[in-house]
Amino acid sequence: MTQPVPITFTQTDHSDFAAYDGLLVVLAAHGTPLGEAARQIDALTHGAVSRAHGSDAFGKLAHGAGITLNWPAGVAARAVMVLALPEAATTQEARKAGAAVAAVLDDKGAQVVAASHPRASDIAFGLALRAYRFDYHSETKPAFGSVSMMVDTPERTAQAAAPLAALAEGVFFTRDLVNEPANILTTCDFAARLAGMQELGLEVEILEEADLEALGMRALLAVGQGSESPSKVVVMKWMGGGDEAPLALVGKGVVFDTGGISLKPGAGMEDMTMDMGGAGTVAGVMRTLALRKARANVVGLVGIVENMPDGRAQRPGDIVTSAKGLTIEVINTDAEGRLVLADVLWYAQDRFKPCAMIDLATLTGAVIVGLGHENAGVFANDDAFAAQVVQAARSENEGAWHMPLQPAYDGLIKSRLADIKNTGGRAAGAITAAAFLKRFVADDLPWCHIDIAGVALPPSATDLAPKGPTGWGVMTLNRLIADKFEG
C-alpha cells in the first residue's frame, strides 16, 4: 500500500537553517511579530520573510494558507514558505496548513519549524494526508522526501501524533483500494488484501460462495452471478475492549458495477471502480483501530461482488430471497448495492449481536443530486445515534447531513409480487434506498446508513486530499469510536 511520507519530530535547532536544501517552512501570524526562527531565516534571506509577512498578500491569507518564496538568496533551501497560522488556530486550520506544505512538497522533503505551536501534530497530520500519490504511470515520479518537524517538545508531540499517523495509514489504505482498477482489485484480490491485515492483529474470516449459499445470502449472490469473479463476504474483528457487544460496520464492496442487465451508459462507467468505496472505508477504519490498538470492540463486514451482464446475470423482474427470508423483486439490476448490504446487515446483527450498526456505501446518484460532493447522506432509525455520527463528522471536517427516513417512504418500495422491491424510482431515490435497508435492521438496534456516493471520489481536490479518492469516513468513524465506544 501507499505509505505516508516519513515525518520525524526533532528538537528545535536554529543552527542549520542556511544549509538545509529542501523546503523550509516557518509559521507566522497576522499582525504579530515574527518568532525567533522566522527572524533568523529572515536575516539569512536579507529580509525576504519579513517582506512577505508584512505584505498585503499575506494579510489576506486565510489561516492555514501560505506564501512560498522560491530560490531565496542567502539559504540553500529551494523555497521558504511562510504559513499564516496563529497559536490559537483551530485543528482544521492547522491541518490545512500542513496540507499547504504537502501541496508543494517534492523529493527534497521539508523542514517545518513549528517550535512551541500547540497544533504541531495536526500540522503533521494534514501534511501526511495531502502528500498522497497513486498512479500506474510508466515513468514514476520521485517519492516525497522526508519531513522534519522542529518542535520544542519532540517526545510529547510525537506521542500526540502517533494515533494520527495510524489514522493517516488507514485513510491511505482506503484511498488505494478505491483507486485500484477492477482488473487489479478483483473480488479475490480485495479479500486477500483484507486477510493480510491479520498481521496487524485483526481476526479475518473469508466466507466463500458455498458459505454464503448455506447462510441464505441469495440477494448478495444474485448480484454477482453474472461475473467470473466469485462473491465473498469478509469479516474483520478487532476486540480491544472488554466483554461489551461490538459496534458493527458494514460496507458495500462492488469492485466494478456495470449496472448488470440494466446497463449503465458507457460515458463515465470507468469511475465504477470506486463502487467498493464503502467496503474500502470499513477496511481503512479496521486498519486504523488495529494500528492504534483501540480499546473498543468493532467488527467490520464487507460484501464483495462484481456486477456484470452475462448469460447468468440476474434480470429485471427476478425475485430473490434474502438471508432474512424477505423476498425482493429486482426492478433494476443497477440497484444492486442494497441487495448486497441487505444480506450482510442481517448476518452482522444475527451473528454478532452488536450494540449499534453503521453501513457505508456508494449507493445512489440521488444523494449527489441532493447534497452534491460536500456531504454524505446520513439516514438512521435512531436520531440520537445519527446526531453522534454527524457530530463526529463535523469534528473531523468531513461533511455529513442527516436525511429524513419517515415510514411514508416505505410505500414507494412496496412490490405487487414480493415483500419489497429494490427501487422506488427517481423520487427520493436516496431515501427509498435507505428505507429498503431499514427493512433488514432490527427496530431496537441503533443503525445508521451513510451514502458516500458524492464524497468518496469528488471531481476535484479537497482540503486534505489531491484529486481522487478522499478516504471519507475513516476519520469520522475513528472519531466516533474513540469518543463513544472506547473505555
d(CA 299, CA 238): 6
Q: What is the β-pairing status of strands 232-239 and 203-207?
A: antiparallel
426 given a catalytic annotation: no
d(CA 124, CA 8): 9
Q: Which residues of 231-267 are buried (b: 16+ CB within 10 A; e: fewer)?
A: bbbbbbbbebbeeeebbbbbbbbbbbbbbbbbeeeee
Beta-carbon contacts of 175 under 8 Å, excluding residues fewer than 6 positions away, are 2, 132, 134, 280, 465, 468, 469, 470, 471
First vs last Cα of the chain: how many Å apart?
31
DSSP 262-320: SPPPSTTGGGGGGTTHHHHHHHHHHHHHHHTT-SSEEEEEEEEEEE---TTS--TT-EE
d(CA 270, CA 402): 30
Beta-carbon contacts of 37 under 8 Å, excluding residues fewer than 6 positions away, are 12, 14, 17, 26, 113, 115, 150
Rg (CA), the chain: 24
Could you tell me how far CA 206 lies from the centroid of its own chain?
A: 23
133 given a catalytic annotation: no
Closest CA to 275 of 247, 296, 256: 256
Please list the residues that pair with 203 across neighbouring strands.
237
Q: Which residues of 198-215 are buried (b: 16+ CB within 10 A; e: fewer)?
A: eeeebebeebebeebeeb
Closest CA to 160 of 151, 169, 147: 151
Contact (CB, 8 A) for 44 and 134: no
Catalytic residue, chosen from 252, 287, 292, 338, is 338
* Residue matched to cell numbers 512551541: 116
Torsional sign, CA 71, 72, 78, 82: negative
Total Cβ atoms within 10 A of residue 374: 12
The three-state secondary structure class of 349 is helix
Catalytic residue, chosen from 237, 264, 295, 484, is 264
Helix axes 429-438, 337-352, angle to 10 degrees: 30
Query: What is the Cβ-side half-sphere exposure of residue 363, based on CA atoms within 13 angstroms?
Result: 32
Task: Tell me the C-alpha to C-alpha distance, in Å, between residue 77 and each of 70, 82, 102.
Answer: 9, 13, 16
Could you tell me how far CA 452 lies from the centroid of its own chain?
A: 10
Active site residues: 264, 338
